[in-house]
Amino acid sequence: MDFSLNEEQTAIRQTCRDFAEQEIKPRAEEMDAQGAFPYQLVRQMGELGLLGLPFPEEYGGAGADFLSYCLAIEEISRGDVSVGITMEAHTSLGATPFSLFGSQQQKEQYLTPLARGEQLWAFGLTEPEAGSDSGGTQTRAILQDGCWHINGSKAFITNAGTDMTGGVTITAVTGLRSDGRKEITNLIVPKGTTGYAIGRPYKKMGWKASDTRPLSFEDCVIPEANMLGRPGEGFKQFMQILDAGRVAIAALSVGLAQACLDEALKYAQQRKQFGMPIGQFQAIQFKLADMDMEIELARLAYFKAAWMNMQGRPYSREASIAKLYASEAAKRAADQAVQIHGGYGFMDEYPVSRYWRSVKINEIGEGTSEVQRMVIAKMLLATQPQ
């Protein structure tokens, strides 16, 4: 078993670590306070090739492997999670569907500007009445005279409304299957399409510099060709998209947890009480040790899931385990980091207070912790003889 990274993986990780340290981290507090989308950083990341890491070079990507992409997400998120989630949602949710399921023409038209970092793209699965029950989609699309006519709404869609956004891919019910269940198809809706309205950004507890919006579709008309794959393939496609997305969210959580440990370690060596640095107290040392242990385990969990993805093996279970464990470990790390900072940890001028606010969503987005447990349990039960 070889846990070492190859030359390319090491180089990508170092590039992202340096970029996060020099460019992202110094701006993170201000971005959070202003809730301002980080256009400049996102454009710089595009120029560095970070918005198209796992895509083929012929479509403007960097041709890197999936683990390199996850390492990049970890490092960028260590600098700031708003930037991390912008990169993750763009890559895993926005661009990957074109890469996996797009026609040659769709890859050229949509994937290439996304992989080059010239545009961002969103994926709209969640609806006001269909969250964890993503198959409960109510948005409908009817094929008439060579066009899809879409009516419905989406909730909480990342990257949908920035000035750099090219559009959104949405799930819509396009008919009924022979077993009576909904036929779901993924449709491509460019920004500016008549009948497609992008709502105002939500006011959020964390990830404040990322763009999250409600969307609505009222007699929105797109060409029949704006479909990914064939009618009825939408459910299968987004389950595949979510598997990879969950590994990336695990990496994002590890990055945030590592940032918590970085700050806690620094503070424990500086802050003196009872005549000595608090890091001399065993109670504080044990917190630091637990954080380090859990970060290492979470990192190994996402490494394994990413490796299985690269091997072409089924990895839904491993993706859910990585996402579930890493997001919960990150929450514990943020909590302990604030505790180690005492009252100062509750103050906005210390980054750990921002980390604490931002960590919660990791247990919700791209499948809640309950949903991850449902996936793991379902697989566990399926392997047991009746």
Give the nearest distance from C-beta 152 to ligand FAD in angstroms. Answer: 13
- Contact flag: residue 324 with ligand FAD (CB under 6 A): no
- Contact flag: residue 173 with ligand FAD (CB under 6 A): no
- Using an 8 Å Cβ cutoff, are 91 and 158 in contact? no
Give the nearest distance from C-beta 32 to ligand FAD in angstroms. Answer: 14
**For ligand FAD, which residue of 98, 101, 207, 356 counts as binding (CB under 6 A)?**
207
How many residues interact with ligand FAD (rule CB under 6 A)? 23
- Contact flag: residue 136 with ligand FAD (CB under 6 A): no
Residue 225: partners with Cβ closer than 8 Å, 6 or more residues away: none
Give the pairing type, strands 212-223 and 196-198. Answer: antiparallel
Give the nearest distance from C-beta 345 to ligand FAD in angstroms. Answer: 23
Query: Which of these, 109, 4, 88, lies nearest to 42 by C-alpha position?
Result: 88
**By rule CB under 6 A, what string of x and - marks binding of each residue 79-118 to ligand FAD?**
----------x---x-------------------------
**For ligand FAD, which residue of 24, 157, 264, 334 counts as binding (CB under 6 A)?**
157
- Using an 8 Å Cβ cutoff, are 255 and 77 in contact? yes
- How many other β-carbons are positioned within 10 Å of the β-carbon of residue 40? 10
The dihedrals phi and psi of 199, each to the nearest 5 degrees, come to -75, 175
Distance between CA 48 and CA 248 in Å, rounded? 19
Distance between CA 109 and CA 198 in Å, rounded? 22
Give the pairing type, strands 140-144 and 276-277. Answer: unpaired
- Contact flag: residue 125 with ligand FAD (CB under 6 A): yes
The stretch among 96-104, 107-115, 152-160, 306-314 that binds ligand FAD (CB under 6 A) is: 152-160
Distance between CA 262 and CA 92 in Å, rounded? 27
- Contact flag: residue 158 with ligand FAD (CB under 6 A): yes
**For ligand FAD, which residue of 131, 135, 232, 277 counts as binding (CB under 6 A)?**
131
- Contact flag: residue 240 with ligand FAD (CB under 6 A): no
The stretch among 45-53, 95-103, 156-164, 349-357 that binds ligand FAD (CB under 6 A) is: 156-164
Q: Which token pair is 19?
A: 């970029």
Catalytic entry in 75, 129, 366, 370? 366
Distance between CA 106 and CA 99 in Å, rounded? 9
Query: Which of these, 160, 151, 290, 174, lies nearest to 224 by C-alpha position?
Result: 174
Comparison of 158 and 237: residue with beta carbon closer to ligand FAD: 158
Give the residue numbers marked as catalytic. Answer: 366
Binding site for ligand FAD (CB under 6 A): 89, 93, 122-126, 131-132, 156-158, 204, 207, 212, 361, 364-368, 370-371
